[in-house]
Structure 1
């Protein structure tokens, strides 16, 4: 897995929006996946890639030279009133659906966390992601909330 380059922001945005559509298409409204969402994501990625330490917290996967997935880790943070229970947090791990089951997600997770304890938040209805994290030693800790940033989607915390 690779660290991203500064010029990867547009590709990261495209993969971000596409993987969200694939993962949450029936759970979130269309404005999470439209052209304006891609523009917002590109601005977000441009900012993250230029922040101090930003590139070191992100890992990307490529297939035939094209960006196909990414993972982001960092110091754990308070999440809408829930204080962190681990020092490190996996903030995102997304791979294009056509590559699910190929090991790309596993390689991204391993490159990002290197087996260390961490916490993450995942959509309660995203059974595939939850099973993947369980396979990697994460367990639900009983913390559940409605994520207002995600249009009221219910998320749960998992820890290892």
Structure 2
């Protein structure tokens, strides 16, 4: 793989690229969790609008990983949203295209989003690749569980803290 992988803070013009990665990464990562029809029905326009609002609001930090000029991953983090936040900083999301697995893009994004200090995140309970990534980065389950609805399907989730 070439070494033209970079990362930077997201800009409003990145909303389309972030939305594209968001949709493709869900299709690649959640095929075992979500109905194929639901994943096939994900639409660029609404996701792009949502990302434009998130970036403009600046309530959370959004980072992108780029291969050349193409966005290949993103991460967002901000103040913990849970009433019982175990740490002040929450990783809201991080997704990298499957073609970038092992490239270091995920690590760059995680480091940019939460650094090496304390943080927490919620993860699909049946997401072994992501679970292993977070474990390697010092995150451990704290016993909190819930369910999160993704495109109409309840997905069991668990909280990890560092």
- TM-score w.r.t. the length of structure 1 is 0.90
Give the Cα–Cα distance (whole angstroms) in 1 for the partners of residues 75 and 66 of structure 2: 12
Q: Give the length in aligned residue pairs.
A: 154
* Cα root mean square deviation, aligned: 1.5
Runs of 4 or more, structure 1, over 4 Å off, are: none
Shift of 1:6: 1.1
Decide whether the 8 Å contact of 1:123 with 1:153 is kept in 2.
Answer: yes
Q: Which moved more, 1:22-31 or 1:131-140?
A: 22-31
Q: Select which of 28, 31, 56 maps to 2:38.
A: 31
Q: Which residue of 2 aligns with 1:139?
A: 140
From the two aligned structures, give the one with the greater helix fraction: 1
Give the Cα–Cα distance (whole angstroms) in 2 for the partners of residues 71 and 33 of structure 1: 23
- Pairing 1:112-151 to 2, within 5 Å after superposition: 112-149=113-150, 151=153
Q: Select which of 72, 76, 81 maps to 2:76.
A: 72
Q: Which runs of 5+ in 1 are unaligned?
A: none
Give the Cα–Cα distance (whole angstroms) in 2 for the partners of residues 76 and 35 of structure 1: 27
Query: In the TM superposition, what whole-angstrom CA distance separates every residue of 1:67-99 from its partner, at most 9, and x where no partner exists?
Result: 000010000012xxx621111100111100011
Give the Cα–Cα distance (whole angstroms) in 1 for the partners of residues 75 and 17 of structure 2: 14
- Pairing 1:47-58 to 2, within 5 Å after superposition: 47-54=53-60, 57-58=61-62
Q: Which runs of 5+ in 2 are unaligned?
A: 1-6
Give the Cα–Cα distance (whole angstroms) in 1 for the partners of residues 18 and 133 of structure 2: 22
- Pairing 1:104-115 to 2, within 5 Å after superposition: 104-115=105-116
